[in-house]
Chain A
């Protein structure tokens, strides 16, 4: 509650929070099927119909309602983004804590492997993974998760290394606290703030990467809808039916902007060095 109030008293947090909130509502509605029309229904007579009162964002080549498909696409993109970021965060936390806590050989091996992953451009690495396991929604989740794991590993390892040498961790050891207790209560609890910021920013990249993969035809497969897929379909009809390109494009842009604004706001709010200026 306190966090929500802080977000809404922060100038960019208010905008980012509102956008992300709106998108989440749209995604839930899309999932529940509460859309203006059936997103898969093909209104043959109204093919490439321009936006009007019936078809708010027009129809595509097959006469499907763009607004409904957009809602479904947003929920599809969100599922992929959330699932992949959640996977990446869990993997990154485990690997980062292991590297920081055990040090030595563990640290060297884990971090060098993460460096190798980081050396590839995100899309290229995702393409490589999909080329190996084949396209599909869940393979793109896996691919995006693997791409973003090194970032979480680094975000966790750095602070964990410094927390590990703090006096309160030493104090816990003198009581004989178990390793798991120290890792969860003393390390993880202090990592919540940087992780929250990182998750929010990673959601923005996840959204973008998913759109990119779908655009290339390697993510979500038709007839299901996704923002990237809608963009890909609109390419050849750009001049004839610009609404096919404009609406999904704007949806991607605003969504990423929302997550980035929210991430920046969370960083300001949760960083103790800037906390005072906000409060």
Chain B
């Protein structure tokens, strides 16, 4: 293999005095043509700055390369030091020989131009194509990234395409001039897991076709297993470990790499599920929450008179029940209706139809709402102007309770249970870290001694190591208070660790429900299979994901549309899947 890029002792600083504010401290790596280097690290580790230094986009962010060289082998075989190259040369190389994909496809495209115009621009600039030729080339580029019906999509504006489609458009643009090096900066972080798998598959396939080198930046060490040849782990601006993929993942040398590998929950296809609760052991207990035929529809209006022309079927006939002490994981992609289900149960959205009954579970429960919720974002779900004691008192006051010694005792008890000091009561939310705030939210949800707690992506916004601790806390609290959890998440690895049962939601309907181990190890519905095969994992090395261009069906239905009643097929004692048409 021929050498493509050789970076040695790269140092980058920011600000007016870049020497005093060094972000990247002497990073070196090599990349051959056709190879993929994954740069892994947490936010702030300097991984993006390192990659942006290669095409010198870092200059536009206020950065300066202080030292080191970036030897890039050009198409004609000559080498060029990018660290010292002038802006004119760089303009030719950017887009022409080095392509780039960004994290957020929604904001990387101009919303007022059609995607056709934006791809054509690249062909016009770098290849000198005009008019019809450029249009043809743009269509070919979209075909290449497997966008179905490419000729028609060229006339679409960015808002008419989904996130996955837009990321494909970005890749098409980046590849328009057959770059020899592609820099991908967290290209799938903003996307759903099945879409992420599609993009990863596409990148792997394109790399094979074109023989380009790739630098792939990610914070998710599970993701690199499928695509990278070499891995570089960065921490605080230094490359703490680098080497071939297998060596780094199987025999990590540096403690930070070990920490990264152990902190991330790995998806183990049903082998890591909890075994502390079985439905069969408590067959006669009354369910803590029973949901029947829950339906949420939002009207769609159109025409001159704004008459209702249809409805978005956000949740369509969802049934499940939840036993005390049990966790039901609800998994699905964004827009599948999993959060709407949770919000409808809490009364935040008005359900169109359906009943749900929550069991208060004996006289010991305080009056109040038996279902409580913990939200995704701990920074937004606490009023910044209220002290913690007021925050914790709110549910009690709302339930008509009084602020007496008993309430204070419960506050202190719960703070202690969630692992916060007693003096936290006199402090404000901004004095706590994200993980601590989420603990506060959990304590607040438990103030009324609920029987069911709805956790809507409750750990998704936390760092991986904090995530693990909060999950542990949730499991402990569940045992202690006999809580039933409704755990809504898109993260299969997290759900695997906390759920006893799993419901898979797709397009507003439950397509498969059952015992967690059984659903994850032996999925029956086609969508569940797709979802599970898309989860990246350290164990899934060099796995070739299948390029799949199916889109989620539209949830907008004409007025009066009713879905056909579900036809359930049973697979074992506690495992059902919807029969497919």
A and B associate in one complex: yes
Contact, CB under 8 Å: B398 / A175: yes
Q: Is B139 an interface residue (CB 8 A)?
A: no
**Chain B, range 397-430, C-beta contacts under 8 Å to A:** 397-399
Contact, CB under 8 Å: A174 / B373: yes
Q: Which of B10-18, B63-71, B177-185, B376-384 interfaces with chain A?
A: B376-384
The residue in B368, B383, B397 that gathers the most chain A C-beta atoms within 10 A of its C-beta is: B383
Q: Determine chain B's interface SS by DSSP, over half rule.
A: loop
Q: Is A38 an interface residue (CB 8 A)?
A: no
Q: Is B131 an interface residue (CB 8 A)?
A: no
Q: Is A5 an interface residue (CB 8 A)?
A: no
Given A185-B386, A190-B385, is A172 in contact with B380 using a C-beta cutoff of 8 Å? no
Contact, CB under 8 Å: A186 / B383: yes
Q: Which residue of B lies closest to A178 (CB)?
A: B398
The residue in A166, A173, A174, A192 that gathers the most chain B C-beta atoms within 10 A of its C-beta is: A174
Complex contacts, B381 vs chain A, CB 8 Å: 166-168, 170-171
Complex contacts, B441 vs chain A, CB 8 Å: 171
Q: Which residue of B lies closest to A190 (CB)?
A: B385
Q: Which residue of A lies closest to B441 (CB)?
A: A171
Q: Is B280 an interface residue (CB 8 A)?
A: no
**Chain B, range 207-224, C-beta contacts under 8 Å to A:** none
Complex contacts, A167 vs chain B, CB 8 Å: 375-377, 380-381
Complex contacts, A274 vs chain B, CB 8 Å: none
Q: How far is the CA of A177 from the CA of B418 in the complex (A)?
A: 24
Contact, CB under 8 Å: B348 / A175: no
Contact, CB under 8 Å: A176 / B369: yes
Contact, CB under 8 Å: A174 / B348: yes
Contact, CB under 8 Å: B397 / A171: no
Contact, CB under 8 Å: A175 / B369: yes
Q: Which residue of A lies closest to B373 (CB)?
A: A174
Contact, CB under 8 Å: A177 / B373: no
Shortest CB–CB separation between residue A175 and chain B, in angstroms? 4
Q: How far is the CA of A166 from the CA of B383 in the complex (A)?
A: 9
Shortest CB–CB separation between residue B225 and chain A, in angstroms? 35
Q: Which residue of A lies closest to B391 (CB)?
A: A168
Q: Is B335 an interface residue (CB 8 A)?
A: no
Contact, CB under 8 Å: B386 / A175: no
Contact, CB under 8 Å: A173 / B347: yes
Complex contacts, B375 vs chain A, CB 8 Å: 167, 170-171
Complex contacts, B373 vs chain A, CB 8 Å: 171, 174
Q: Is A189 an interface residue (CB 8 A)?
A: yes
Q: How far is the CA of A175 from the CA of B369 in the complex (A)?
A: 7
Q: Is B299 an interface residue (CB 8 A)?
A: no
Complex contacts, A176 vs chain B, CB 8 Å: 368-369, 395, 398-399
Q: Which size bracket describes the interface of B in this complex?
A: 20 to 34
Q: Is B394 an interface residue (CB 8 A)?
A: yes
Contact, CB under 8 Å: A175 / B399: yes
**Chain A, range 185-213, C-beta contacts under 8 Å to B:** 185-186, 189-190, 192
**Chain B, range 157-171, C-beta contacts under 8 Å to A:** none
Q: Which residue of B lies closest to A165 (CB)?
A: B380
Q: How far is the CA of A178 from the CA of B400 in the complex (A)?
A: 10
Given A173-B348, A176-B398, is A189 in contact with B383 using a C-beta cutoff of 8 Å? yes
Shortest CB–CB separation between residue A25 and chain B, in angstroms? 32
Q: How far is the CA of A173 from the CA of B390 in the complex (A)?
A: 16
Contact, CB under 8 Å: B383 / A168: yes
Q: Which residue of A lies closest to B376 (CB)?
A: A167
**Chain A, range 50-92, C-beta contacts under 8 Å to B:** none
Q: Is A120 an interface residue (CB 8 A)?
A: no
Shortest CB–CB separation between residue B395 and chain A, in angstroms? 4
Contact, CB under 8 Å: B383 / A177: no
Shortest CB–CB separation between residue A231 and chain B, in angstroms? 43
Complex contacts, A174 vs chain B, CB 8 Å: 346-348, 369, 371-373
Q: Which residue of A lies closest to B380 (CB)?
A: A167
Q: Is B56 an interface residue (CB 8 A)?
A: no
Q: How far is the CA of A172 from the CA of B382 in the complex (A)?
A: 10
Q: Is A181 an interface residue (CB 8 A)?
A: yes
Shortest CB–CB separation between residue B298 and chain A, in angstroms? 16
Contact, CB under 8 Å: B380 / A175: no
The residue in B369, B372, B395, B448 that gathers the most chain A C-beta atoms within 10 A of its C-beta is: B395
Q: Which residue of B lies closest to A187 (CB)?
A: B383
Complex contacts, B397 vs chain A, CB 8 Å: 177, 181
Complex contacts, A185 vs chain B, CB 8 Å: 383, 386, 390, 394
Contact, CB under 8 Å: A189 / B398: no
**Chain B, range 438-489, C-beta contacts under 8 Å to A:** 441, 444, 448
Other-chain contact of A175, B343, B377, B390, B448 (Cβ < 8 Å): B448
Q: How far is the CA of A167 from the CA of B381 in the complex (A)?
A: 4
Q: Which residue of B lies closest to A272 (CB)?
A: B384
Q: Which residue of A lies closest to B372 (CB)?
A: A174
Q: How far is the CA of A102 from the CA of B399 in the complex (A)?
A: 23
Other-chain contact of B380, A168, A177, A181, A189 (Cβ < 8 Å): A168
Q: Which residue of A lies closest to B385 (CB)?
A: A189
Contact, CB under 8 Å: A172 / B394: yes
Complex contacts, B384 vs chain A, CB 8 Å: 190
Complex contacts, B383 vs chain A, CB 8 Å: 168, 185-186, 189-190
Q: How far is the CA of A119 from the CA of B366 in the complex (A)?
A: 54
Shortest CB–CB separation between residue B103 and chain A, in angstroms? 24
Complex contacts, A172 vs chain B, CB 8 Å: 394, 398
Shortest CB–CB separation between residue A224 and chain B, in angstroms? 42
Contact, CB under 8 Å: A171 / B444: yes
Shortest CB–CB separation between residue B176 and chain A, in angstroms? 40
What are 18 A-B pairs with beta-carbon distances under 8 A?
A: A167-B381, A168-B380, A168-B383, A171-B375, A171-B381, A174-B346, A174-B369, A174-B372, A175-B448, A176-B369, A176-B395, A176-B399, A177-B397, A181-B394, A185-B394, A189-B383, A190-B385, A192-B385
Please give the residue numbers on chain B whose beta carbons come within 8 Å of chain A beta carbons, in ascending order.
343, 346-348, 368-369, 371-373, 375-377, 380-386, 390, 394-395, 397-399, 441, 444, 448
